[in-house]
Structure 1
Amino acid sequence: MAGSGTAHLRGEEALLSVQDLVVEYPTDAGTVQAVSKISFDVLAGETLGIVGESGCGKSTTGRAVLRLDRVTSGRIRFGEEWIEGASEKHMRSLRRDMQMIFQDPVSSLNPRRAVKDIVVEGMTIAGASSESREKASASVLEQVGLPGDRFANVLPRQLSGGQAQRVAIARALALEPRLLICDEPVSALDVSVQAQILNLIEELKTKFALTVVFIAHDLGVVRTVSDNVMVMYLGKVCEFGDSIEIYDDPAHPYTRALLDSVPLTDPEKAFAGPALAGDVPSPLAPPTGCRFRTRCPKAQDRCAEEEPEMREVRPGQFAACHFPLPSVTGRKNLFETVESEPAETEAVEIETGDTERGDTETGDTELVNADG
């Protein structure tokens, strides 16, 4: 897998454009490159789903776009402005248009403040009048299904998980953003509540003309909400394109393996395909060439020697793979199928212990499945 390149970018029409983004974290064991030269873009009104196993760099990517994590190198354009070098003071202003919803709704809320004050925290920082804050608070709470007469004076500890996430969404909407980044917004919620929150996000996206980056490890959720999908592995992008086409006709062996890991309803079949061999390598010492080659059933000598770059393998579908999968739906392949004996996949020694932040864990990982 694992490649760089910008062949899949769509130019100045994108509301958000990220080019060759690198995010590194120092640890006692060495430097972790959580995100390694990734590029992607999102057009106004689109939803981009970012999916991959734990530790692939999904959450770090979202935080870096808002400059909540330090950007080591690369470029980020929001609207017409390049923001990777913007001052923190200027970023505070820009974040009115760029909001984020976090994974754990309760811990993201101030435990000592009432709901009516939490949802207008951004407006308070921006210096909005008390009258405008009060009006906005009542309005956004109503929009997310939490009537102010019942919830305005409630504290976070009195909320259910679903209600707390609705408050977090209301807090983001109060600033009337153009871009909403959702970092695993339903993974901490009961299955019965997940659909309600997903439907709410979709309704609000349409109503407020939002552009959304939706980060998740649940393949089913990402397919439901996304126009385009970006698949990540060990800090790299492996595939980018239309959601339906990628799910129905993946071009990258890792994307295929993720889809094959989804449990089937037939208990005798268990999974759609065979499990991946080995474990995710340590981000402290990623493999040379293609980072997925140590687990890839199609790996060849070239994969260890040369990092694949993103290229268009089918119309509108891009993959970072020297030997992409042929179409199974009859779509035109823009590459020649190369028949060769696959190289043996290498045994991978896993470093134990946690890294300091983000989703860059180096401990044991399990295959992604539709149940999260």
Structure 2
Amino acid sequence: MPGHPPHLEVSLLAGSGTAHLRGEQALLSIRDLVVEYRSKGGVVQAVSKVSFDVLPGETLGIVGESGCGKSTTGRAVLRLGKMVSGQISFAGEPLERAGEPRMRELRRHIQMIFQDPVASLNPRRPVKDLVVEGLAIAGVPATARAAMSSAVLEQVGLGSERFRDLLPRQLSGGQAQRVAIGRALALRPQLLICDEPVSALDVSVQAQILNLIEQLKAEYHLTVVFIAHDLGVVRSVSDNVLVMYLGKVCEVGDAALVYGSPAHPYTRALLDSVPRADPDNAFHGPAIEGDLPSPLAPPTGCRFRTRCPQATRRCAEEEPQIRELRPSQYAACHHPLTTDRVVSSEAASTTTTAQTVPAVDETD
């Protein structure tokens, strides 16, 4: 498990009702972020008043069902989508006020790894050029780019000459994701946003990519926001975890606490949904019922109440605010879980970080 950064404290963001992770110098700060999309049916409330901080060197995992707004939150940091309101600060600079020329400069320090690696790569360019695209845009000379290309490909396990002239369609999913990681690292970013980077890969390849990200994080002193719906993956790489549901923060805090003793019923349901072979640590229930409500018309009060087995009238009438339930653990719930339980090692599985980049074969 990754080590926890020093001087970490979890405190309440005054006035917003949203918990955030605060350090002496947060590299990334998000306050009351709101992102909406207009559609034929109305306004989709993708992200609603989300706030959090990420400290230098920390990995924050963001987890939730599809459609909860986690990817939209990550894309908003790079201004890849228009935000309605809120504040995003990177190294003390407000990104929502930055013009497009300045954002292009800042994106050299904030890089993103996308869910579909092949789709994120230019299909007409070879691997040796893809990994240094950012440097070419920045005006780095060709000789320097060539040297960086070789170095980066070696670091991500694609150092063999046979990879250099391949096109994206000639790569496997794992190989394409390594190229995407190399492209991000070639710019030597401070913040790396990983948007479902292993969800489309086989389990064995997932482990290799996760190990690679962890190794490069330590080598380059990266700060990481890791977005995924796979609870085991998020647990294996995160110092702290933020759980989202329908655009809202449900729970946030130290990864070991959130996984070991979930406070929000939705977090508990997510953990219980992980299949387990151990009959002594089976499903705890009760199960979540119903489908995810439409973001066009989210429920009043608590957005999870329509599927929550503990919902009461108060949950429909009053929106719960984030509050401290245990040290370093916050949740937005009128009826939080109070009974500690330890998640099985299978449910909260961790991936051991490799000391070297795993070798790549023809099927990786």
Regarding TM over 0.5, the answer is yes
1:8 aligns with 2:2: no
Contact 1:262-1:272 at 8 Å conserved across structures: no
Contact 2:133-2:183 at 8 Å conserved across structures: yes
Corresponding residue number in structure 2 for 1:302: 314
Q: Distance in 2 between matches of 1:173 and 1:211?
A: 12
Q: Which amino acid aligns with 1:113?
A: R
Deviation at 1:12, TM superposition (A): 5.2
Deviation at 1:327, TM superposition (A): 4.0
Corresponding residue number in structure 2 for 1:239: 251
Q: Which amino acid aligns with 2:196?
A: E
What secondary structure is seen at the aligned counterpart in 2 of 1:14? coil
Corresponding residue number in structure 2 for 1:256: 268
Deviation at 1:271, TM superposition (A): 3.8
Contact 1:21-1:37 at 8 Å conserved across structures: yes
Q: Which amino acid aligns with 2:214?
A: E
Corresponding residue number in structure 2 for 1:119: 131
Q: Distance in 1 between matches of 2:117 and 2:268?
A: 32
Q: Distance in 1 between matches of 2:58 and 2:310?
A: 33
Q: Distance in 2 between matches of 1:186 and 1:62?
A: 16
Deviation at 1:329, TM superposition (A): 5.6
Corresponding residue number in structure 1 for 2:174: 162
Q: Distance in 2 between matches of 1:316 and 1:327?
A: 17
Task: Kindly report the root-mean-square deviation, in angstroms, between the aligned alpha carbons of the 2 structures.
Answer: 1.9
Corresponding residue number in structure 2 for 1:275: 287
Corresponding residue number in structure 1 for 2:32: 20
Q: Distance in 1 between matches of 2:294 and 2:265?
A: 20
1:78 aligns with 2:100: no
Match of 1:203 among 184, 199, 215: 215
What secondary structure is seen at the aligned counterpart in 1 of 2:105? helix
Deviation at 1:108, TM superposition (A): 0.8
1:51-62 equivalent positions in 2, closer than 5 A: 51-62=63-74
Structure 2 CA distance for partners of 1:285 and 1:121, relative to 1, 3 Å: same
What secondary structure is seen at the aligned counterpart in 2 of 1:298? coil
* TM-score, reference length from structure 2: 0.87
Match of 1:153 among 153, 158, 165: 165
Q: Identify unmatched segments of 5+ residues in structure 1.
A: 331-367
Q: Which amino acid aligns with 1:323?
A: H
Deviation at 1:174, TM superposition (A): 0.3
Contact 2:194-2:225 at 8 Å conserved across structures: yes
Match of 1:129 among 123, 135, 141: 141
Q: Distance in 1 between matches of 2:308 and 2:146?
A: 55
1:25-104 equivalent positions in 2, closer than 5 A: 25-104=37-116
What secondary structure is seen at the aligned counterpart in 1 of 2:224? strand
Q: Distance in 2 between matches of 1:148 and 1:92?
A: 32
Q: Distance in 2 between matches of 1:274 and 1:218?
A: 21
Q: Distance in 1 between matches of 2:48 and 2:65?
A: 16
Contact 2:19-2:252 at 8 Å conserved across structures: no
Deviation at 1:328, TM superposition (A): 1.2
Identify the range of structure 1 (303-312 vs 222-231) with the bigger mean alpha-carbon deviation. 303-312
Q: Which amino acid aligns with 2:331?
A: A
Deviation at 1:148, TM superposition (A): 4.9
Q: Distance in 2 between matches of 1:272 and 1:119?
A: 46
Q: Distance in 1 between matches of 2:23 and 2:82?
A: 25
Deviation at 1:314, TM superposition (A): 0.5
Q: Distance in 2 between matches of 1:102 and 1:19?
A: 24
Q: Which amino acid aligns with 2:82?
A: R
Corresponding residue number in structure 2 for 1:311: 323
What secondary structure is seen at the aligned counterpart in 2 of 1:99? strand
Match of 2:302 among 274, 290, 297: 290
1:332-343 equivalent positions in 2, closer than 5 A: none
What secondary structure is seen at the aligned counterpart in 2 of 1:35? strand
Deviation at 1:7, TM superposition (A): 3.8
What secondary structure is seen at the aligned counterpart in 2 of 1:294? coil
Contact 1:23-1:72 at 8 Å conserved across structures: yes
Q: Distance in 2 between matches of 1:288 and 1:277?
A: 18
* TM-score, reference length from structure 1: 0.85
Corresponding residue number in structure 1 for 2:358: none
Q: Distance in 2 between matches of 1:44 and 1:104?
A: 27
How high is the sequence identity, in percent, across the aligned residues? 73
Deviation at 1:272, TM superposition (A): 4.5
What secondary structure is seen at the aligned counterpart in 2 of 1:31? strand
Deviations along 1:177-222, whole A, 9 cap, x unmatched? 0000000000001111000000000000000000000000000101
Corresponding residue number in structure 1 for 2:187: 175
Q: Which amino acid aligns with 1:215?
A: I
Contact 1:138-1:148 at 8 Å conserved across structures: no
